[in-house]
Amino acid sequence: MPATSPVINRFATTWRHGRSQRSGTFGRTMELSLTFLVVFFEVLLLPFALLLAWAIYCDLSKSEIPPGIDQPMKLRILHWLLILSSAVGKILENLCLCSEIDFIRFTQEGKKMGEDPKLTILDLAFEGTPVRVYQPRGMAGQPKRRGLIYFHGGGWMFGSINSYDHVCRYMAKESDSVIVSVGYHLAPEQKYPSQFEECLSTTVHFMRTAEAYGVDPALVALGGDSVGGNLAASVCQALVTRFDLPKPLAQVLIYPGLQAINFDLPSYQQNRAVPILYREHVVAAALKYLNKDLSVTESVVQGRHVPSDIRRRFEKWINSENVPSEFKARGYQPSSASSFLDNVYEVVKQALETTFSPLLAEEAVIARLPTTCIITCEYDVLRDDGLLYKKRLEDHGVPVTWFHIENGFHGVINLFDGLLAFPSGKKGLDSIVTFLKSL
């Protein structure tokens, strides 16, 4: 073999040594990466998997998904995520990192979507309350439009302008209406009746300045879903007794909670464990809003908080007999009220005020209410609140447009688009748009 030069020998030796160093470095890097992945799996993924398994177990062991509900598997997945966020929130609260409520709010907050070529969107404050105004473009030179003041749902403790951004954009564009989304301050930081008072003052401010936003003051409607429907109904009742403002054009009540007397109506029995709102959740949210001890929850569910004189007074309005028979076919069992407990009444008596239970309003107030749109869902504990209010309004000559989502559940309007969209949510939202366009 021909002899190699000393230079080539030195180069070959250096290259082999560098290759060996590079191989060693690469090996150590791979080893560190694998170690990191193992630690990551053990520290984060494994606990997450256990929490997810626990959420699935809680859902399967406690919830009931009726066969007629819209996309039952998708609803279960949604419920798993909600249980999971609550569980993580509890852990973080125990670690003193943040409260459970704050974490759930963070997971549900969402964010403001980008610019929309069909809308002008303004973030403002009315009387110190954040609002977001959605104005259809091309309003210059056009007749004044109708407006809808919208109060979001969320059990008085959750929900925000951002989390309802997609809903309000859709209503504004499809109905060609100005939508005012109200970011009222939440419980438990703010106690009852501050949300009602805040929503009322915000509404009065807008009605007095409506023309600045291209809205005819005589064409202002109020609306909301769940507790937002409760707030809309209460504010509307307060406004119809005033003479310094135009009467509201209409009210849009989407699966509203309207009374705290009877939690044993057919819908409360039939849907007591249907996600995403259990019967016990309704009572617990009400007690937290009132800043009361949750220890009385079961007594309130049993109706032991209502004195006999109050029960007799409102029985003609809040009675299972007023619920149409077709809504009692699914396993409803009439039951008698449990014995009254004065100490429980003293804790929750504010829940029987009309600003909390608008279904209890006086006859004169009910008779003055404007045309009303009520949305109910078959698989919702609050279904019968809407049905009872519908009957009471109609008995007093108030025009009512009723849309019933036969395969819907509580909260479905907010799930009309995205990965967890439900066709029944889109159907319900389109019904609201149809009603607004008819005004």
Residues taking part in catalysis: 226, 380, 410
List, edge to edge, every strand of the sheet that includes 215-225: 119-126, 129-136, 178-182, 145-151, 215-225, 250-254, 371-379, 400-409
- Round to whole Å and give the CA distance between 158 and 184: 10
Q: Give which of 306, 330, 130 is closest to 296, Cα–Cα.
A: 306
- Round to whole Å and give the CA distance between 124 and 206: 11
Burial class (CB within 10 angstroms; exposed 0-12, middle 13-18, buried 19+) of 87: middle
Query: In terms of DSSP bridges, do strands 119-126 and 129-136 run parallel, antiparallel, or are they unpaired?
Result: antiparallel
For 1, 2, 12, 20, 164, the CA distances from 16, given in Å and listed in that order, are 21, 21, 6, 6, 64
Helix, strand or coil, per DSSP, at residue 396:
coil
3-state helix, strand, coil in the chain (%, to 5): 50, 15, 35
Q: Give which of 336, 194, 318, 203 is closest to 257, Cα–Cα.
A: 318
Q: Which amino acid is at 408?
A: G
The number of residues making up the chain comes to: 439
28-34 own/partner pairs: CB under 8 Å, 24+ apart:
none
